[in-house]
Structure 1
Amino acid sequence: MVVRESFNFSDLEQWLNERRVTEIECLVPDLTGVARGKILPREKFTEDRGMRLPEAIVAIGVTGEFPEEGPYYDVITPTDRDMHLRPDPATVRIVPWAVDPTAQVIHDCFDRHGQLVPYAPRSVLRRVCDLYAAEGWDPVVAPELEFYLIERSTDSNQPLRPPRGRSGRAETSRQVYSIDAVNEFDPLFEDIYAYCEQMELNVDTLIHEVGAGQMEINFLHNHPMQLADEVFFFKRTIREAALRHEMYATFMAKPMANEPGSAMHVHQSIVDRHTRRNIFSNDDGSPSKAFFWYIGGLQRYIPAAMALFAPYVNSYRRLARSTAAPINIQWGTDNRTVGIRSPVATPAARRIENRVIGADANPYVALAATLACGYLGLKHRIEPTPECKGDAYLGAYALPRSLGEALAALKAEGELHDVLGKDFITVYTEIKEIEHEEFMKVISPWEREHLLLHV
C-alpha cells in the first residue's frame, strides 16, 4: 500500500512510469459529487501539471442548470472565468476498467491569484479540516455506505426493480445480513474487490442490508479528505462494475417505494495532534466533556445542515418512521433508532456515528458539514440532551421534512456559514433552489391518481 500523505510530484511521475500510464483522467468533484474534468495524454499532463475549466463547472446542480440571476452571481462572475486546477498527487489511482493504461487524479480548484475556489466541495472540506488543525486536532472518520443493485431500466417512468442474481431470480423478500444473498452477485463483487484493490481503496466489510438488492460497504477509518476521495472513487467504481454485469448501482436515498432508504453513516472521532489520544475519552476511560460537547453540536446544528446531508427532494422520502432511518437528533449508546449513535467501543476507539446522512450526499460536503456541527459544539461547549435509552421513533420529528424547509433552515444558520464559508453556502443554496423549482414542475402519478377526479 502506498503511503500517500507525503506523495509529491516526483513520486507521482515514478508511479505513472511504473504503470506505463498513457492517459490521465483529470477529475474535479462538483456539488453533486459528479466527476467533471478532462482526459489528457500523459505527456500533456506532465508538461502542464494542471488544466483550466470554467469556474461554474463545480457549481452545477444535478439537472445541469444554472441560476439566471441572483446571489449566485455575487460569487461566480457572469463572464465565466477560468479556474486553475492543480492535481493532488496523493489521489492518483489506476482506472481498472480502462483498455489502455489510464490513471485518474483528483484536482483542487484555484483562482488566478492562487486562492482555493471556496465553493468547490474539496475546498470546503479542507477549510473545515484546517479549523480542526488550528485547535491541534485531527478528525478521524469512517463511512458506511449503502446502495442498491437494480435491474437495468431506461424508462424513468417505471418503478425500479431488484436485479436477477446467479440463480436467475430477483429478490422478493428482505435478506438482511444474508451470506447467500450476497453470493448471488459473486461475479460482480469479485470485480468490485479487484477494482478496489487495484485502486488502493481501503474498503473493509461488505454486507447485505435490509432492502431487496441493498448492500453496504464499510471503509477503514482515516483522515476525512482521504475518505471523501475514496467514497468519490468508490461510487464511480461500483457504477462501472455494475454496468459490466448488466445492472445498475444507485446511491439514491430512496430508489424504491416499498424498500428502506440508503444512508452514509459516518463514524467520527478526534485525535489530539500532540498526544495522539482520542479526545472523546478521559485518562480513566470514561467519556470526556469533548465527547458530550461534540454530540451537543450535532444536535444543535444537524437540523440546519440537513440540505447538505439530504441534498435532493428524494432524500426526504428516506427520513420516515417506517424506513429504518432517523427522524430526530436524539442520541444513545448502541441504539440504532437515534440519529446520533455512540457504538460500544474501547476508550481509544470511542466515536460518534451520524446516522442522518443519505447515501446521495456529496461525500466532501457531508463530511465537512458533520465535522462543522461537531466543531461548533466543541467551541461553544454545547451540552447534549439526556441520552435516549428507548425507541427514538416514538419521539417527535425533529428534522426538516422537505428540501424547501431544509434550505430555509440552512440559509438562516449564520454560524454554519462562518465555518463552511459564506460563498459556498450562497452557491449551494442557489443551486438547490433551482433543483427544487424544477421538481415542482413535475406532476406525479400520486397526484393524478388521487386528485384528478376527487378534489
Structure 2
Amino acid sequence: MDSSVKDPLAEWLKSYGITEVECVVSDLTGIARGKILPTNKFLNEHGMRLPESVLLQTVTGDYVDDDIYYNLLDPADIDMTCRPDPQAVYVLPWAIEPTAMVIHDTFDRYGNPIELSPRNVLKKVLELYAAQGWRPVVAPEMEFYLTQRCADPDLPLQVPTGRSGRPESGRQSFSIEAANEFDPLFEDVYDWCEAQGLDLDTLIHEDGPAQMEINFRHGDALDLADQITVFKRTMREAALKHDVAATFMAKPITDEPGSAMHLHQSVVDIKTGLSIFSTPEGEPTKLFLQHIGGLQRYIPEVLPLFAPNANSFRRFLPDTSAPVNVEWGEENRTVGLRVPASDAQARRVENRLPGADANPYLAIAASLLCGYMGMIEGCDPSAPVQGRGYERRNLRLPLTIEDALERMEASAAVRRVLGDKFVQGYVAVKRAEHENYKRVISSWERQFLMMSV
C-alpha cells in the first residue's frame, strides 16, 4: 500500500484501534462466512479469497447434489475474490480484542459479480431502479423472541425470566412493563447498535411472550440489508451476555405468533428526491398502484426468498395473525400488502409476508423486484380489501416450501432478471435443506402415531 495515499478504511480501523478484522460474505441463508485476520494482514491483502462453494452450503453445513454442484461451480472448486466495501464496516463491541466486521462483495476470476451472492442480487435489483432514475427507500421491522437458553433441540423453547424473577404469561402486545423486564439487555443492544452506526428507531413488545420488534429508520436498501445482518448477530450476542437466547425463527413456539420482517418500501426520483408514488396534489400515482400490482403478481413466484424454510410456512397457518395472501388494503394488517396512513411524500407499501428468518439481502431484493416489474409491465392491482382479509382465497400463496420452490423454479420472469444460475442454486440449496429436515422424526409423530397406528 502506498503510504502517501490515504485509505479511508485504513484510517477508520486505525481510529478505532482495531487489531482484528472479520472479513465476511453472506451465504444464501444469511450466515456470515469468511476469515478473521490481523488488521495489518487485512490491509496488505486488500480483500480475501474464499471457495465459491460456500455459496451453495446449506444451513446444516451440507452441500447440494453433485450434479447441480458441478453444473453451477467449477469442478476444481476454485476461489472467488472478495473485496471489502468501505461503507460496510462495523465495530464489534462485544469482542474481547478491538475487532471490526467488514462486509465483502464477491467476484469471479474475470472481475464479474458472483451471481449466487445475495448482496450482488440486491445490487442487481437496485441497478434496475437506477437505470429508470429511481431510488428505492426501505424501512424494515424485525420481530424476534427471547427465550431461555437450552442445549437440547428436542425440548420446546421456554419463556425467559425477566427482572421481576417471573416468566411472562399471556399476551402483552405493546406492554411497556413487559418490555422493561429486559431493560438491561436492551440497554446493551442500543449502546452496541449506536457504536456500530445502526439506525434503530422503535422497540415494541409484540404479541408473543417475550416477543419483541425493533424498527429501523427508512433509508438505502443495501445499507439497511447490511444493518439487519449486523443487528441479528448483535441481538444474539447481547442475549447471550444476559443468559438468554434470541431467535429469529419464523415460528419458534407452538401456538404463539410467528416473527416477521415487515418491509416498508417506497421509491423516489433520483433527480428531485420526490416520491414517484404521489402526484404534486398528493394523490397516489399510477406507478404506485402498479408497484402494488407487481407485488401481487410476482410474490408467489419469489416466496422462497421471503419464507426460506419449512418452519417459515408455519407462520402462514390459519389463525396465526400472519397474512396468507397478497391482497392489499389501506391501514389493513390482515392482508399481505398494507398501505399505512401517511403524508404524500411518505406514501409506501408494507410487505408483511417476509419472515424474520429470511436473508435480508434476498428478501429486500425480491420485494423491490416485484414492485419494479409491476411498474415496468404496467400491472394493475386488485381492488383494495375492506375489513378482514385473512380468509380471502383469490390471491392465496403456495402453502408448502415444496410448492413454493416449484413455483420459483418455473418462473421465467425471475430467471430472466436474477439469472438461471441463482435460481437453480437457491432452489437446490433449499431442497437439500428440506430433504435433511424430512429425515428428522418429530415429537408429534411419536406422540400420536407411536401407539396408535
Length-normalised TM-score, structure 1: 0.97
Correspondence for 2:104: 107
The equivalent of 1:3 in structure 2 is: none
How far off is 1:72 after superposition? 3.6
Equivalent residue for 1:190? 187
Instruction: Report the equivalent of 2:377.
Output: 380
1:180 matched to 2:159: no
In the TM superposition, 1:206-285 aligns within 5 A as: 206-285=203-282
**Contact 1:9 1:89 survives alignment (8 Å):** no
Name the counterpart of 1:446. Answer: 444
Report what 1:93 is aligned to: 90
Structure 2 unmatched runs, 5+: none
Which residue of the other structure, out of 327, 339, 345, is the alignment partner of 2:342?
345
- Equivalent position of 2:66 in the other structure: 69
| 1:318 and 2:315 are equivalent in the alignment | yes
Q: Secondary structure at the match of 2:390?
A: helix
The answer (yes or no) to whether the contact 2:172–2:209 under 8 Å persists in 1 is: yes
- Please give the secondary structure, in 2, of the residue aligned with 1:36: strand
- Give the Cα separation in 2 of the matches to 1:365 and 1:68: 23
State the AA in 2 paired with 1:142.
A
Residue 144 of structure 1 is matched in structure 2 by 141
Q: Deviations over 1:350-386 (max 9, x none)?
A: 0000000000000001001111111110111000000
The separation in 2 between residues aligned to 1:332 and 1:73, in whole angstroms, is 46
Question: Do the aligned residues in 1 keep the contact of 2:90 with 2:101 (CA within 8 Å)?
Answer: yes
Residues 27-79 of structure 1, C-alpha deviations (whole Å, 9 max, x = no match):
11111111111110111011011011101112211111112323342221232
Give how far 1:244 is off.
0.5
Unaligned runs of 5+ in 1: 1-7
Alignment equivalent of 1:336, drawn from 333, 336, 341: 333
Contact 1:124 1:421 (C-alpha < 8 Å) held by counterparts? no
Specify the SS of the correspondent of 2:277: coil
Name the CA distance, whole Å, in 2 between partners of 1:431 and 1:78. 18
CA distance, structure 2, for counterparts of residue 103 and residue 67 of structure 1: 32
CA distance in 2, matches of 1:416, 1:325: 25
Tell me the equivalent position of 2:7.
Answer: 10
| Alignment check: 8 A CA contact 1:92 1:103 kept | yes
**Residue 287 (structure 1) aligned with residue 284 (structure 2):** yes
Structure 2 counterpart SS, 1:85: strand
1:52 aligns with 2:65: no
Q: Which amino acid aligns with 2:442?
A: S
Letter in 2 for 1:411: E
Asked if 2 retains the 8 angstrom alpha-carbon contact of 1:369 and 1:420, the reply is no
Q: 1:45 to 1:174 in 2, by over 3 A?
A: same
Aligned counterparts of 2:6 and 2:53: Cα–Cα separation in 1: 27
In the alignment of these two chains, the number of paired residues is 448
> Is residue 111–residue 117 contact of structure 1 (8 Å, CA) maintained in 2?
yes
Which of 293, 307, 320 is matched with 1:296 structurally? Answer: 293
Q: 2:424 corresponds to which letter in structure 1? A: T
TM superposition outliers: structure 1 runs of 4+ over 4 Å: none
Matched, 1:129 2:126: yes
The aligned counterpart of 2:16 is: 19
- SS in structure 2 at match of 1:306: helix
1:99-148 C-alpha deviation (Å, 9 max, x unpaired)? 22111100001111111111111010001101111111101100000000
Residue 84 (structure 1) shift: 0.6
- What secondary structure, in the 3-state scheme, does the structure 1 residue paired with 2:319 have? helix
Counterpart among 331, 350, 361 of residue 364 in structure 1: 361
Paired with 2:240 and 2:447, the residues of 1 have a C-alpha distance of 34
Match of 2:421 in 1: 423
- Equivalent-residue separation in structure 1 for 2:419 and 2:217 (angstroms): 29
* Worse overlay, 421-430 or 196-205: 421-430
User: Aligned with 1:383: secondary structure?
Assistant: coil
Query: What is the CA–CA distance in structure 1 between the aligned matches of 2:271 and 2:6, rounded to whole Å?
Result: 28
The percentage of aligned residue pairs carrying the same residue is 52
What is the alpha-carbon root mean square deviation over aligned residues?
1.2
AA of the residue aligned to 2:238: A
Aligned mate of 1:414, from 412, 415, 419: 412
Q: Using the alignment, how far apart are the partners of 2:302 and 2:15 within structure 1? A: 44
- Find the aligned partners of 2:397 and 2:88 in 1 and give their Cα distance: 35
Per the TM alignment, residue 9 of structure 1 is displaced from its structure 2 partner at its CA by 7.3
Structure-1 separation of matches of 2:183 and 2:33:
31
Give deviations 1:296-330, integer Å, cap 9, x for gaps: 00001111111110000000001123111001110
Which residue matches 2:402?
404
CA contact (8 A) 2:293 2:381 kept: yes
